[in-house]
Chain A
Amino acid sequence: DTAVSQTPKYLVTQMGNDKSIKCEQNLGHDTMYWYKQDSKKFLKIMFSYNNKELIINETVPNRFSPKSPDKAHLNLHINSLELGDSAVYFCASSLRGQAPYEQYFGPGTRLTVT
């Protein structure tokens, strides 16, 4: 069974388009995250939701909007895509309130903006 899944795995699109990435976890976790990994493999936190409440909102262009319909899902919508948005986006989840709070990651979505 897949623990944290993301769709699509690959996304190629043109500048100016709007796209969404979906994430689902079946671990019973209550906290979910979006990370951006650039070409140098640096992982940067973007957003985090706990029980559908936004708890981390890093300095990210407002073209990026997360949505959490329930605690098992966290989607990322990106408006007006730019070349610099090309990266791998990872979803992760964890269980708040239970140490050691390890995160589990999805397989990633490789976004290429042309």
Chain B
Amino acid sequence: AQSVTQPDIHITVSEGASLELRCNYSYGATPYLFWYVQSPGQGLQLLLKYFSGDTLVQGIKGFEAEFKRSQSSFNLRKPSVHWSDAAEYFCAVGPSGTYKYIFGTGTRLKVLA
């Protein structure tokens, strides 16, 4: 069955520190992978996406993610976190043949000043 796992429910980092949010997926075919960010009280904003080509993808707000097929992972990274990055981050895979997207349970990022 298709699934997405975000192992970390909460992560706390200091402003200026580097960040890595983990995402593992289970998918039968070549996946389309996405990272979304949800700021408090807001909708989901697409940070970046992967579907082919270079396995290191760049996104908005200084984020990047690396697709590793051998590890079934698509981890999100940022070299220096800003206080405004505090939000909920969702990894997603899809769409499957039924055009359904599978979302992870989210990782809540807290940034310390």
What is the number of residues of chain A that contact chain B, defined by CB distance less than 8 Å?
Answer: 25
Q: Does A25 contact B (CB under 8 A)?
A: no
- Nearest A residue (CB) for B103: A43
Q: Does A55 contact B (CB under 8 A)?
A: yes
Q: A101-B32, A105-B43, A105-B45 are in contact. Are A45 and B101 (CB under 8 A)?
A: yes
Interface string of B34-51 (1 = CB under 8 A from A): 101010001111100111
Q: Which chain B residues lie closer than 8 Å to A75 at the CB level?
A: none
- On whether the beta carbons of B46 and A104 are closer than 8 Å, the reply is yes
Complex formed: what's the CA distance from A55 to B100 in Å?
Answer: 9
Smallest CB–CB gap between A51 and chain B, Å?
12
Q: Does A108 contact B (CB under 8 A)?
A: yes
Q: Does B98 contact A (CB under 8 A)?
A: yes
How many Cβ-Cβ contacts under 8 Å join chain A to chain B?
59
Complex formed: what's the CA distance from A55 to B99 in Å?
Answer: 8
Q: Which chain B residues lie closer than 8 Å to A101 at the CB level?
A: 32, 51, 94-95, 99
Smallest CB–CB gap between B47 and chain A, Å?
10
Q: Which chain A residues lie closer than 8 Å to B32 at the CB level?
A: 99-101
Q: Does A50 contact B (CB under 8 A)?
A: yes
Q: A41-B106, A43-B90, A90-B44 are in contact. Are A55 and B98 (CB under 8 A)?
A: yes
Complex formed: what's the CA distance from A41 to B6 in Å?
Answer: 13
- Nearest B residue (CB) for A9: B41
Q: Which chain A residues lie closer than 8 Å to B45 at the CB level?
A: 105
28 contacts between A and B (CB under 8 A): A4-B43, A41-B38, A41-B88, A42-B105, A42-B106, A43-B90, A43-B103, A43-B106, A48-B100, A50-B99, A55-B98, A56-B99, A92-B44, A94-B95, A96-B99, A99-B51, A99-B52, A100-B34, A100-B51, A101-B32, A101-B51, A101-B99, A102-B34, A102-B46, A102-B49, A105-B44, A105-B45, A108-B42
Name A's B-contacting residues (CB within 8 A): 4, 31, 40-43, 45, 48, 50, 55-56, 90, 92, 94, 96, 99-108
